[in-house]
Amino acid sequence: MKKVIVFASGTGSNFQALADHLAAHPVAAIVALVCDQPQAAVIGRAQALGIPTVIVRYRDYPSKAAAEQALLTRLPAADLVVLAGFMRIVGETLLAAFPDRIINLHPALLPSFPGRTGIADALAYGVRVTGVTVHYVDAGVDSGRIIAQAPVAIAEGESLTHLEARIHAVEHVLLPQTVDQLISKGAI
Ligand code: GRF
């Protein structure tokens, strides 16, 4: 069975959605959660599922490369790394350790609205359609090759909170589906 490491920084609803999907469709196992925020809710989710968590405090290291190097020594072997709400740019050390094996979930239709505030930026711009993207991670910000996308139409006068909830609901389907398909078709 393929092995997946999930990186997350916050609530972890996408981590949960992926774990739930893999419990029902066991094409892969989540072998570790990596979290950079010791208080994040995602850690409790991993504990509840019995998934080992690796907490990395980047500020304890002199550089991102040093933090990633130390992190690598604590990680199990894996076929795929999934960034699911991981709020850091992955550096060259991790990219080199998992070449073409790191994917990211982004809450907009890339290449539009990259960065941390993709949902709010799309709403403020006034686009009628935004959505969700799963893409390979490269050295840029949300710039790697696109694997899957799903559109979300923005309603007239829709609030940010409402749009966020609808985007997240789409994420919770697209991410597990994409991971499943990558594995099923032998792409990883
Ligand atoms: C998601 O919207 C993801 O696209 C973004 O951060 C959010 C994480 O949410 N990068 P959660 O922690 O999975 O609930």
Instruction: Dump pLDDT digits (tens) for 4-13.
Output: 999 999 999 9
Q: Please list the rounded mean pLDDT of every run of 10 residues in the chain (188 residues).
A: 97 98 97 98 98 97 98 98 97 97 98 97 98 96 96 97 98 98 93
HEC letters along 130-159? EEEEEEECCCCCCCCCEEEEEEEECCCCCC
What pLDDT does residue 94 have?
A: 98
Q: What is the pLDDT of residue 19?
A: 98
What percentage of the chain carries pLDDT values higher than 90? 99
- 10 Å Cβ neighbour count for 41? 15
Verify whether ligand 1 is closer than 6 Å to residue 12 (CB atom).
yes
State the pLDDT at residue 188: 87
Q: Which of 53, 52, 49 is nearest to 21 (CA)?
A: 49
Instruction: Write down the pLDDT at residue 157.
Output: 96
Q: Tell me which residues are annotated as active site.
A: 106
Residue nearest to atom 10 of ligand 1 (CA): 85
Does the beta carbon of 45 lie inside 6 Å of ligand 1?
Answer: no
Residue 13 CB less than 6 A away from ligand 1: yes
Supply the pLDDT for residue 171.
98
Q: How far is the CA of 66 from the centre of ligand 1 (A)?
A: 26
Q: 187 C-alpha vs ligand 1 centroid, how far in Å?
A: 24
CA of 67 to the centre of ligand 1 (A): 22
21 lines ligand 1 (CB under 6 A): no
For atom 9 of ligand 1, the residue with the nearest CA is 85
Partners of 2 in the beta sheet? 28
Cα 184 from chain centroid (whole Å): 19
